[in-house]
A and B are shown apart, each in its own frame.
Chain A
């Protein structure tokens, strides 16, 4: 089953090339050059994971992460940064990011993390479905 990915970065050449390589690996990839556009696209699209650049003009990755998680708490977000520090990593994890990768990123490592993100999302979706069923059963007292 192909992973649905939203790739967000303000460097167009980086975005287009990485998207092509990810599609060659069987993923379904949507791209966005700004955090604001990405937030709109995430509302309409049912993405397994969002790959988000940390430093972008206008709204940066951390602000975008906060906004995305507020709208869709189950969303899996992987941050990409030119300079990964422990402090940034902690801040990102506290806000709910799944992982933080330093650029240039190795596509095999990124692909593994995307697969894990999809698996994590499926677990969360299943848990929600189970809870719904339990709630229904409780109400009906069967």
Chain B
């Protein structure tokens, strides 16, 4: 293997690292807001000591905003905890709907950076398959990035999951501007190892512009 080639373990780590960095940035933003709200309450106290009347409605509003940010941080950490636990077992039962929803939530800042909005279609009943939890997220993320990089003014994506025999199908659509041309060789090569490990196939439907990831059900561990 050449020095500049990346192993699938390394790409998995890079993916985990990228999402972790995005989460840390999100949490920093939440802390910054809480910091400013606390500072504002301090300012009100200082002004009250100078003789200014306290606006109790305003104080109520600011404390409610702090609580909302705490709730926001809690949601982020819950999603991140779920994501972190996807490394517990190499092969496990995966609720695909929950996985996709968690992935999109965690990657929101990265998606915003690419100026992409993603709508996850409701998945009912749940689609649960035996697969590699971290790798399946890595593949879905790679596919979303590829779709987002396709030329087009408005970048809005849809994400859906369907049962397909014992396996599952993930459908990624670009709303408004489907990608032109086929899947490029570089993208296919970059996802080769992950697709092989997942026994996954990838197809781009040129008519609908939908990128389809077909995931086979893997053998559960003994």
- A contact residues vs B (CB 8 Å cutoff): 10-11, 13-14, 17-18, 20-21, 24, 55, 57-58, 60, 82-83, 103-105, 107
Contacts and interface: CB of A to CB of B under 8 A. Distances in A.
A120 B177 CA distance: 48
A135 B34 CA distance: 53
A105 B31 CA distance: 10
B43 A103 contact: no
Interface stretch (B22-30, B121-129, B138-146, B203-211): B22-30
Contact of B28 (A20, A58, A103): A103
B113 A17 contact: no
Contacts of A83: 21, 24-25, 28
A82 B24 contact: yes
Interface of B: 21, 24-25, 28-29, 31-37, 39-40, 43, 47, 65, 69, 109, 112-113, 115
A105 B32 contact: yes
B43 A57 contact: no
A21 B35 contact: no
Contacts of A11: 29, 32-33
19 contacts: A10-B112, A13-B69, A17-B33, A18-B36, A21-B39, A24-B47, A55-B25, A57-B113, A57-B115, A58-B115, A82-B25, A82-B29, A82-B32, A83-B25, A103-B29, A104-B28, A104-B36, A105-B32, A107-B36
B116 to A, nearest CB: 9
